[in-house]
Amino acid sequence: MKRHASAARTGKRLVLISVLALSAFGLVMVYSAASVRDYQVFGNSAYHLIRQTQWLLVGLCIMALAARLDLRLSDRRLPAHRDAAMVGWAVWGLSVVGLLAVAVSGVERYGATRWLQVGPFSLQPSEFAKLGCVMVTALLLARWKRGVLTGLELAAGLLMTSLPVLGLVLLQPDMGTAVSIAVGVFALLVLGGVDARALAGLAGTGAALGVLLATSADYRYERVLTYLDPWRDPSGAGYQIIQSLLAFGSGGVGGVGLGLSRQKFFYLPMAHTDFIFAIVGEELGLIGALCVVAAFAVFLIGGFMVAIGTRNEYDRLLAGGLTILVGSQAVINMCAVTGLLPVTGIPLPFVSYGGSSLMFTLGCVGLVLGVARRAERAPAAVRGSTSTARREAGSRAATHPMTMKGQLREIPVERRRDRGTRLSRAGGRAHPRAGRA
């Protein structure tokens, strides 16, 4: 038990250190990548820095609140704890409502309708749909592993919760977010111990659907061709990835220096959002890029240690699923920026500019920290319950009718060869017929 609590405590520290370091580093890089454009467009080179700082403060508050949520399952073979079920279904339901609102009155940017305008701010409901799907999937899997749900009921629940979200996200269109949700749900199924044959069939079906979707729309098919050969259209579809590769090539090992990027002078589109990792590679070089990769590796290790350190099935699935969800987004973004994967439009967690993405990822971190907090408190709860039981036993002994002056008078019983029992002389007089047949 202490070993589990120690792993959770260490994991919590690693997660906190990596997240705070990446978030602070993100503020620096957002300012560096967006300052030139901000000065020309808004007359203030710190425009995006100020907004990102505001979102970061809000996100840290969300993280702190999420860490205090008591999301648990009962230790008995019963349905989920009401808080876990209520919060999970609420996040999922609100995200679906937000996706429906986007389909009706969403704001179009960069050829996609993904945002809702709320006063001066814009929100992206698909970010919170990731969290909703992970929480509900963890809930269903925990119930299934406890025998509350059958395998058929689990499959039906997963289809009813995942397919509507994936369909609404693909209508925006946003295949990158849909892939991220599918990866998170599939990772949870692996962690939940679903049969390998079922997982293989699901992976094959998902791969076939991915190929179908990639070739069914012209813009997605163009992205695939650009991924295979960016120089086939260097001034059109391949322009962005070519400029990104030029940024990494210019940075070399040590980089050109912080704030001295050339690609941010209107060469690299989306320099402060999806392609901020390219600016990191240009200004800080291979060393800076590897430091970012190492920070995400520390985050993944810490998140997995938190998942390992808890004995509650729902907490284990929740921490593991959220860790993989955030980590997979980082891997997809860095691979897309370096040309290892097609461009998907997924931002780099904690570093890229974006309020919805930052609040979502910090909310996920808060839930992981909440799992660590409950794992740390579990040994203390066990010790407290043991000491309470001892005190209750002592109070019962003090009021027992056989006690004398507050101390229980023990009456030893001897077992005779003829299977009769009699009181020993040390405990009192024996009954005259004790031990007789």
**Domain ranges across the chain:** 2-384
Residue 422 and residue 430 in contact, taking contact as beta carbons nearer than 8 Å: yes
Type of residue numbered 223: R
| Contacts with 116 (C-beta within 8 Å, 6 or more apart), sequence order | 98, 101, 102, 105, 106, 107, 122, 123, 124, 125
CA distances from 121 to 69, 115, 356 (A): 26, 10, 10
User: For the residues 120-149, what does the mean pLDDT come to?
Assistant: 87
Q: Decide the pairing of beta strands 121-123 and 413-415.
A: unpaired
Residue 388's Cβ-side half-sphere holds a number of Cα atoms within 13 Å equal to 6
> Reduced to 3 states, what is the DSSP secondary structure of residue 216?
helix
Q: What is the pLDDT of residues 30-81, one digit of tens each?
A: 999 999 999 998 989 999 999 999 999 999 999 999 998 877 655 444 444 4
What is the spatial distance between Cα 64 and Cα 81, in angstroms, rounded to a whole number? 21
Determine the average pLDDT of the residues in 384-413: 45
Q: d(Cα 160, Cα 263) in Å, to the nearest integer? A: 45
Phi, psi (degrees; rounded to nearest 5) at 413? -120, 130
Tens-place pLDDT, residues 118-134: 777 778 888 889 999 99
Rounded to 5 degrees, what are φ and ψ at 427? Answer: -100, -10
- Give the integer Cα–Cα distance in Å for 269 and 355: 19
Predicted TM-score of the model (pTM)? 0.81
